[in-house]
Amino acid sequence: MSMTAHGAALPETISFEDFLSAYDGVRAEWVDGSVVPMSPASDRHQNVADFLTALMRYWAEKHRLGTVRSSQILMRLGKAARVPDVLFLESGNRERLLPNHLEGPADLVVEIANPESRGRDRGEKFYEYEQAGVREYWLIDPLRETAEIFRPDVRGRYAPAADGNSSRLRSEVLRGFWIESRWLWSEPMPTLESVLIEWGLIPG
């Protein structure tokens, strides 16, 4: 039996609507009627997620491109509802962002891999995002210090746009956005101010 946030038993399968109600505020995903608990994020994982969220959100707001959200927003893709680490939704798709979930694919999704999620991020989620029409998928592995970007080819299948060792990561979907991959592994990470100087948005 699955358990709700309040400890009540639920059937082995649960509707998406019941999942939203019973698991509000709980780190879990919904896959084909089953509840999939999510492990707590490590400090390094959350630090990378927060860093990217801050940069992407600033860029999206500065250039009026759309909406950025971090790791508590459910994204429903048919028979699965996932919780990406970071997502970006273009302004024209803003109506899909409902009070308690995103109905349909984000335009850009970032997943930050850890040992527990690495297979899922490269397997189930990779194909779900591909088939659902996520236009750009960033897969970042802090432990291995690799960062990859995938975009659909002419057949709609994900093809690498940047391999794991690329020194600079550029987005086509979040137009004009770029970062140096080394920023993700730096200790400490660059400040927002230093990145804005690097982008030429404020004087150094």
Domain covering 41-198, topology: tt1808, chain A (3.90.1570)
Give per-residue pLDDT as tens, 30-43: 999 999 988 888 89
Give per-residue pLDDT as tens, 58-95: 999 999 999 999 978 999 999 999 999 999 999 999 99
Length of the chain: 204
The percent helix, strand, coil of the chain (3-state, each to 5) is 30, 30, 40
CA distance 109 to 147: 13
How far CA 192 is from CA of 88, 176, 177, in Å, comes to: 19, 17, 14
More confident: 108 or 37: 108
Q: What is the pTM of this model?
A: 0.90
CA distance 30 to 76: 9
- pLDDT exceeds cutoff 90 at 6: no
Residue ranges of domains in the chain: 1-38, 41-198
